[in-house]
């Protein structure tokens, strides 16, 4: 009976037909700011009205901590993860927590933006550079500038204990810059502080409590467009980058809706939403939002993902030790 | 009058079902969490290993957090104590105008959750302050927000906890018989002399009790150091616990339990000390009229009024105005002007964002549900405690206090420990369901909800019940026919008070929320952490509005409530009630006569 009724219903109701038959509940764990997460969900639901999506937002390390508690309790709540970095995703993949989405259409994306076995897919490029308050007289152009006396006591950074992007940033900088962790020691000697996440950095720099901040690109660029007194710099050595990958958890209760969600993020429409929100979309054909230099002019520093994964705890500890956390 | 609390009257016979209920609630909500925490700290991995606990406690971050906790709690107490005491004296013994409303507003400031107050002060000062910028008084760019770090935490904790001191001192004042003042007057003493020679010595135990309470509240506070200390890495123990657990996961729970136990131990010792001190040497108000304002200030009245106004402006008005200003600009850091003013942040959080709408609904539901459950149980529990437990009641009432005195973050760890794994026998897991939050609320606020009912129960006349019992009325009939109707308003008041405190709390739910069960406190903290300070302010304004409305409802209920149920009532609400209480004063049991209005620890 169900077999006959369902296609009939689908045929009768155009909304359901459009929904590709996907329905039910979907829980998204994400590190996107609330507004962005809500917009993403709203856009997804416009195409899949049968799916009811709830989300949990926090910094990537905190999301992971929550998730690991739920693994321990034997009832992970999340179906889909949309978090800062692929290193974390690699870790989950190795633990066997992820579900491959073999049918995902990644033809438009160059190799390397997704896992070859399709366990996770990059959705954006989020770089970390330098923001400054427009009242600042000294305008830094490089990472080394942050160790100069002009910046003394005026720099704020996100902590890798709170932010996934900050963890990758630390791994990238210590991997490429001469002296490794000595760079962070120099920042500490220059009275830099690292407390919370990127949001804290934005608030302190936009609020003028600190003049300089290490921060992900879209936050200051977007707030500047609203009128906040901030400016963003792509330092000349290059920027570190995360890709905000999406993945489906193996324990998902609704794999169909989860796949539809991933498909949506990878679709042209999903990628254009990222553009509208002020992110660099992962799709190479999507333009960059206003306030960014051209795609080819953004120099991304290289970084060793395997090493970053192996060193994750060590890096967190090294950072926490220098900045007293 | 016969002392019915020493010898078992026939009223006390039977009622084992009721006693079992009391015992069960006390065990589930107070003894069990405390015990579980103790086991996790002392037996990590199932074997007795106090060394693990000691090494956690002696680690560098733990000792610096312990120092930070101690110094902020201590110095903030030194700020709260004189401020709260002076306010209690001005509002309690002088002829200042508008005492009632001043008292209401002062207590309102402590009912608003600490994180909202912290957010407000953070936005009030610093280079981005919309208010200071509008006045052209903002500090230059690059100067740190003075609220961030140790000094700010001490100031905000001190201002926030001054009303706690006020509540305790006002209650103390109300226990002094008016006769003390009248006698001194006949001797020709001037008001200032009456204050220093007669009132202050009588208030000394309350002063100590208030200081200890403010200190404990400072130790356990999470919202203020989380918002003002964490961004600059000045961590107190509750914030360190939160950070460890939220960044490293439940693998840390053994370590974190040890830290929690440390905080809990300090808190419990202080509260126990304050109970002993306020009980010993207190004045007993028996067949006497309580103290009334006797100090006619004359020309000094206007000065006193300005002082009270300034205190209210600093603790309540300015912070809320600055929240409002931050909520009305498009992006944090922009000045507030006609050109920049927008309601967009309110629309975003109240209309567009599912998560904030859901969080408001969740908080209303969880806090409201817990409050409802509490107001349904408190009457039988109070009856059981007062009429059936004999001298055990003192122990039982003290146990009920445990979950309230435990800092919220510590109670949350206990709940995780209890409910992370599926429950034995029923194989149901509460973790990641609303029930874990509701359980924590029930545990934490049982004593808050119970307090006005206990007070009412202690004031209730036993004669009617005895008469009914002689006529053959059974326990259930007496409970529902006689006790319940007279205690209903108190039960409602207790429930509302629990709702007030639970609605916007962060300290319990910070560790217990999960997808779909976020509370409004969590969402506020999350928005602030994500850098969406203007939206966080909009949420905060809505929270303040809800709390104010709930308090106004409580205030309107005031005339049906037993005396002392509302912490902001500065004088007996009805003369005849006072007279009635005076007649029946000896009926109060020693354990209950000392019940002070509950101050909001968080």
Q: What is the pLDDT of residue B16?
A: 78
What is the C-alpha to C-alpha distance for residues B231 and A159, in angstroms, rounded to an integer? Answer: 10
End-to-end CA distance of chain A: 62
Lowest-confidence segment of A304-313, B171-180, B459-468 by average pLDDT: B459-468
Lowest-confidence segment of A206-215, A243-252, B271-280, B291-300 by average pLDDT: B271-280
Give the residue, B538 or B587, on which the prediction is more confident.
B538
Q: What percentage of chain B reaches a pLDDT higher than 70?
A: 90
Q: What is the pLDDT of residue B575?
A: 43
For residue A28, give the H/E element and its range. strand A24-30
Q: What is the pLDDT of residue B7?
A: 47
Instruction: Name the range with the highest mean pLDDT among B154-158, B262-266, B299-303.
Output: B154-158
What is the C-alpha to C-alpha distance for residues A69 and A77, in angstroms, rounded to an integer? Answer: 10
Q: What is the pLDDT of residue B81?
A: 96
- Tell me whether residues B514 and A66 touch, CB distance under 8 A: yes
Chain A: residue nearest B517 by CA?
A56
Lowest-confidence segment of A317-321, B199-203, B276-280 by average pLDDT: B276-280
Q: What is the pLDDT of residue A14?
A: 46
Is residue A133 within 8 A of residue A229, CB to CB? The reply is: yes
Is residue B428 within 8 A of residue B475, CB to CB? The reply is: no
Shortest alpha-carbon distance between residue A17 and chain B (Å): 25
Chain B: residue nearest A29 by CA?
B515
What is the C-alpha to C-alpha distance for residues A253 and A256, in angstroms, rounded to an integer? Answer: 9
Is residue A29 within 8 A of residue A67, CB to CB? The reply is: yes
- Tell me whether residues B128 and A206 touch, CB distance under 8 A: yes
pTM of the predicted model as reported, rounded to 2 decimal places? 0.83
- Tell me whether residues B355 and A196 touch, CB distance under 8 A: no
Task: Compare CB distances from A38 to B330, B355, B432 and report the shortest one's residue.
Answer: B355
Tell me, yes or no, if B352 comes closer than 8 A to chain A by beta carbon. Answer: yes
Average per-residue pLDDT in chain B? 83
Q: What is the DSSP string of B315-358?
A: IIIHHHHHHHHHHHSSSTTPPP-TTT--SHHHHIIIII-HHHHH
Shortest alpha-carbon distance between residue B34 and chain A (Å): 21
Q: What is the pLDDT of residue B586?
A: 38
- Tell me whether residues B145 and A66 touch, CB distance under 8 A: no
Class of domain B71-339: mainly alpha
Q: Residue B517, exposed/middle/buried by CB under 10 A (0-12, 13-18, 19+)?
A: buried
Portion 131-160 of B in contact with A at CB < 8 A:
140-145, 148
Give the residue, A310 or B277, on which the prediction is more confident.
A310
Tell me, yes or no, if A132 comes closer than 8 A to chain B by beta carbon. Answer: no
Is residue B153 within 8 A of residue B229, CB to CB? The reply is: yes
SS3 at position B4? coil
Confidence of residue A6 (pLDDT cuts 50, 70, 90): low
Q: What are A311's two structure tokens?
A: 């060193």
Q: What is the pLDDT of residues B375-426, one digit of tens each?
A: 999 998 988 888 887 778 778 888 888 888 888 888 998 998 888 888 877 7
Is residue A142 within 8 A of residue A231, CB to CB? The reply is: no
Lowest-confidence segment of A158-167, B137-146, B512-521 by average pLDDT: B137-146
Q: What angle do CA A181, A182, A185 make, to 5 degrees?
A: 95
Chain B: residue nearest A35 by CA?
B353
Q: What is the CA radius of gyration of chain B?
A: 24
Residue B597 backbone zone (phi > 0: left; psi -120 to 50: alpha; other: beta): beta
Lowest-confidence segment of A245-254, B333-342, B509-518 by average pLDDT: B333-342
Q: Distances from the Cα of B128 to the Cαs of A178, A227, B186, in angstroms? A: 37, 13, 58
Task: Compare CB distances from A324 to B233, B429, B527 and report the shortest one's residue.
Answer: B233
Q: What percentage of chain A reaches a pLDDT higher than 70?
A: 93
Tell me, yes or no, if A312 comes closer than 8 A to chain B by beta carbon. Answer: no
Q: What is the pLDDT of residue B299?
A: 87
Q: Residue A25, exposed/middle/buried by CB under 10 A (0-12, 13-18, 19+)?
A: middle
Q: What is the pLDDT of residue B13?
A: 58
Average per-residue pLDDT in chain A? 89
Mean pLDDT of B111-126: 90
Q: What are A318's two structure tokens?
A: 């090294």
Lowest-confidence segment of B95-99, B249-253, B467-471 by average pLDDT: B249-253
| Residue partners of A300: CB distance under 8 A and separation at least 6 | A125, A127, A238, A239, A240, A241
C-alpha dihedral (B131, B135, B137, B142), degrees to nearest 10: 60
Q: What are B178's two structure tokens?
A: 């008016």
Q: Taking CB atoms and an 8 Å cutoff, what residues of chain B touch A313?
A: none
Q: What is the pLDDT of residue B571?
A: 57
Instruction: Please write down the HEC assignment for all residues of chain A.
Output: CHHHHHHHHHHHCHHHHHCCCCCEEEEEEECCCHHHHHHHHHHHHHHCCCEEEEEEECCHHHHHHHHHHHHHCCCCCCCEEECCCHHHHHHHHHCCCEECCCCCCCCCCCCCCECCCCCEEECEEEEEEEEEECCCCCCCCCCHHHHCHHHCCCEEECCCCCCHHHHHHHHHHHHHCCCCCHHHHHHHHCCCEECCCHHHHHHHHHCCCCCEEEEECHHHHHHHHHCCCEEEECCCCCEEEECCEEEEECCCCCHHHHHHHHHHHHCHHHHHHHHHCCCEECCCCCCCCCCCCCHHHCCECCCCHHHHHHCHHHHHHHHHHHHCC
Does residue B356 carry a pLDDT above 80?
yes
Task: Compare CB distances from B515 to A77, A203, A219 and report the shortest one's residue.
Answer: A77
Chain A: residue nearest B516 by CA?
A54
Q: Taking CB atoms and an 8 Å cutoff, what residues of chain B touch A223?
A: 331-333
Q: What is the pLDDT of residue B2?
A: 45
Q: What are B54's two structure tokens?
A: 């000691």
Q: How many other CB atoms are found less than 10 A from the CB of residue A74? A: 12
Give the residue, A163 or A80, on which the prediction is more confident.
A80
What is the C-alpha to C-alpha distance for residues B280 and B206, in angstroms, rounded to an integer? Answer: 10
Is residue B93 within 8 A of residue B295, CB to CB? The reply is: yes
Q: What is the pLDDT of residue B579?
A: 41
Chain A: residue nearest B60 by CA?
A324
- Tell me whether residues B128 and A66 touch, CB distance under 8 A: no
Q: What is the pLDDT of residue B585?
A: 38
A-B interface: how many C-beta pairs under 8 angstroms? 189
Chain A: residue nearest B65 by CA?
A325
Tell me, yes or no, if A282 comes closer than 8 A to chain B by beta carbon. Answer: no
Does residue B10 carry a pLDDT above 80?
no
Is residue B238 within 8 A of residue B263, CB to CB? The reply is: yes
Q: What is the pLDDT of residue B576?
A: 40
Give the residue, A292 or B451, on which the prediction is more confident.
A292
Confidence of residue A187 (pLDDT cuts 50, 70, 90): very high
Shortest alpha-carbon distance between residue A70 and chain B (Å): 8
| Residue partners of B456: CB distance under 8 A and separation at least 6 | B382, B486, B487, B490, B561, B562, B565
Lowest-confidence segment of A185-194, B47-56, B221-230, B563-572 by average pLDDT: B563-572
Task: Compare CB distances from A73 to B247, B429, B528 and report the shortest one's residue.
Answer: B429
Does residue B11 carry a pLDDT above 60?
no
Q: What is the pLDDT of residues B420-472, one digit of tens each?
A: 888 877 778 888 889 999 999 999 999 889 888 888 887 777 788 888 888 87
Q: What is the pLDDT of residue B245?
A: 84
Q: What is the pLDDT of residues A192-205, one digit of tens each?
A: 998 788 988 998 89
Mean pLDDT of B74-98: 94
Q: Taking CB atoms and an 8 Å cutoff, what residues of chain A touch B359?
A: none
What is the C-alpha to C-alpha distance for residues B122 and A64, in angstroms, rounded to an integer? Answer: 29
Does residue A262 carry a pLDDT above 50?
yes
Residue of B515, B520, B525 to mutate when probing chain A, most A C-beta within 10 A = B515
Domain ranges within chain B, ordered by starting residue: 71-339
Mean pLDDT of A290-319: 88
Tell me, yes or no, if A91 comes closer than 8 A to chain B by beta carbon. Answer: no
Mean pLDDT of B301-312: 94
For residue A56, give the H/E element and its range. strand A51-57
Q: What are A284's two structure tokens?
A: 């190479």
Chain A: residue nearest B141 by CA?
A208
Mean pLDDT of B546-567: 83
SS3 at position B564? coil
Residue of A62, A69, A192 to mutate when probing chain B, most B C-beta within 10 A = A69
């Amino acid at each position: 009976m169900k077999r006959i009724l369902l296609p009939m219903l689908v045929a009768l109701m155009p909304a359901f037909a459009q929904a590709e038959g996907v329905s039910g509940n979907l829980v998204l764990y994400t590190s996107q700011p609330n507004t962005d997460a809500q917009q993403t969900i709203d856009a997804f639901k416009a195409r899949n009205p049968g799916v009811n999506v709830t989300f949990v937002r926090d910094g990537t390390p905190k999301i992971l901590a929550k998730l690991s508690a739920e693994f321990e309790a034997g009832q992970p709540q999340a179906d889909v993860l949309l978090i800062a970095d692929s290193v974390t995703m690699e870790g989950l993949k190795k633990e066997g927590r992820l579900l491959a989405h073999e049918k995902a259409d990644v033809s438009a994306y160059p190799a390397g933006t997704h896992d070859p076995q399709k366990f996770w897919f990059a959705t954006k490029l989020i770089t970390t550079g330098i923001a400054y308050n427009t009242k600042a007289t000294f305008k830094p152009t490089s990472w080394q500038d942050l160790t100069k006396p002009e910046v003394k006591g005026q720099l704020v950074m996100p902590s890798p204990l709170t932010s996934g992007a900050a963890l990758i940033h630390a791994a990238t900088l210590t991997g490429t810059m001469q002296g490794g962790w000595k760079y962070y020691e120099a920042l500490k000697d220059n009275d830099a502080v690292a407390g919370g996440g990127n949001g804290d950095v934005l608030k302190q720099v936009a609020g003028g409590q600190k003049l300089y901040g290490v921060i992900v690109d879209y936050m200051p660029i977007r707030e500047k467009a609203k009128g906040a007194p901030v400016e963003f710099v792509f330092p000349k050595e290059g920027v570190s980058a995360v890709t905000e990958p999406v993945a489906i958890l193996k324990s998902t209760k609704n794999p169909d809706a989860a796949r539809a969600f991933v498909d949506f993020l990878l679709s042209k429409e999903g990628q254009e939403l990222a553009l509208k929100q002020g992110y660099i979309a992962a799709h190479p054909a999507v333009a960059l939002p206003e306030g960014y230099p051209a795609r080819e002019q953004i120099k991304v520093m290289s970084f060793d993902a395997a090493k970053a994964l192996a060193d994750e705890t060590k890096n967190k500890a090294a950072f926490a030790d220098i900045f007293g956390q | 009058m016969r002392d019915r609390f020493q010898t078992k009257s026939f009223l006390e016979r039977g009622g084992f079902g009721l006693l079992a209920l009391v015992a069960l609630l006390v065990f589930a909500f107070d003894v069990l969490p405390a015990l579980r925490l103790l086991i996790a700290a002392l037996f990590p991995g199932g074997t007795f290993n106090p060394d693990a606990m000691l090494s956690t406690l002696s680690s560098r971050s733990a000792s610096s957090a312990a120092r930070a906790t101690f110094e902020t709690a201590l110095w903030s107490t030194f700020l709260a104590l004189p401020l709260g005491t002076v306010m209690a004296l001005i509002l309690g013994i002088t002829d200042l105008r508008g005492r009632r409303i001043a008292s209401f507003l002062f207590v309102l400031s402590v009912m608003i959750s600490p994180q909202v107050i912290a957010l407000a002060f953070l936005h009030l000062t610093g280079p981005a302050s919309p208010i200071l910028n509008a006045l052209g008084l903002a500090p230059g760019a690059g100067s740190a927000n003075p609220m961030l770090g140790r000094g700010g935490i001490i100031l905000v904790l001190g201002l926030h906890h001054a009303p706690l001191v006020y509540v305790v001192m006002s209650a103390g004042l109300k226990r002094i018989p008016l006769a003390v003042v009248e006698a001194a007057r006949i001797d020709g003493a001037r008001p200032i002399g009456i204050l220093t020679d007669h009132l202050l010595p009588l208030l000394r135990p309350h002063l100590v009790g208030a200081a200890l309470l403010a200190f404990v509240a400072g130790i356990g506070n999470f919202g203020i150091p989380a918002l003002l200390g964490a961004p600059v890495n000045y961590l107190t123990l509750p914030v360190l616990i939160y950070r460890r657990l939220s960044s490293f996961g439940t693998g840390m729970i053994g370590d974190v339990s040890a830290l929690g136990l440390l905080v809990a131990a300090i808190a419990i010792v202080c509260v126990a000390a304050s109970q002993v001190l306020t009980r010993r040497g207190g004045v007993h108000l028996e067949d006497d009229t309580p103290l009334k304002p006797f100090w006619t200030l004359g020309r000094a009245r206007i000065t006193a009024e300005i002082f009270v106004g300034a205190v209210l402006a600093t603790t309540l008005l300015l912070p809320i105005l600055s929240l409002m200003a931050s909520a009305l600009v498009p992006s944090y850091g922009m000045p507030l002007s006609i050109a920049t003013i927008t309601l967009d942040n309110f629309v975003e959080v109240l209309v567009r964002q599912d998560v904030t709408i859901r969080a408001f609904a969740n908080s209303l539901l969880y806090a409201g549900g817990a409050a409802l459950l509490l107001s349904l149980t408190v009457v039988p529990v109070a009856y059981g405690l007062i009429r059936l437990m004999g001298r055990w009641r003192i122990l039982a009432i003290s146990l009920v206090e445990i979950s309230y005195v435990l800092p919220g973050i510590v109670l949350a760890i206990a709940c995780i420990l209890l409910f992370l794994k599926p429950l034995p026998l029923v194989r149901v897991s509460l973790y990641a369901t609303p029930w874990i939050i509701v359980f924590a609320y029930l545990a934490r606020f049982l004593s808050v909800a119970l307090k006005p009912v206990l007070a009412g129960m202690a004031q209730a006349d036993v004669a009617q019940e005895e008469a009914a019992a002689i006529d053959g009325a059974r326990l259930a009939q007496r409970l529902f026919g006689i006790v319940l109707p007279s205690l209903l308003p108190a039960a409602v008041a207790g429930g509302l008070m629990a709702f007030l405190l639970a609605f916007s709390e962060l300290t319990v739910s910070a560790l217990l929320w999960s997808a779909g069960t976020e509370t409004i406190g969590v969402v506020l903290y999350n928005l602030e952490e994500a850098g969406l300070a203007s939206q966080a302010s909009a949420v905060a304004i809505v929270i303040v509005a809800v709390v104010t409305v709930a308090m106004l409802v409580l205030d309107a209920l005031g005339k049906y409530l037993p005396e002392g149920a509302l912490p902001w009532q500065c004088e007996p609400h009805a003369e005849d009630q006072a007279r009635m209480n005076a007649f029946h004063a000896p009926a109060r049991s020693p354990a209950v006569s000392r019940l002070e209005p509950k101050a909001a620890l968080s």
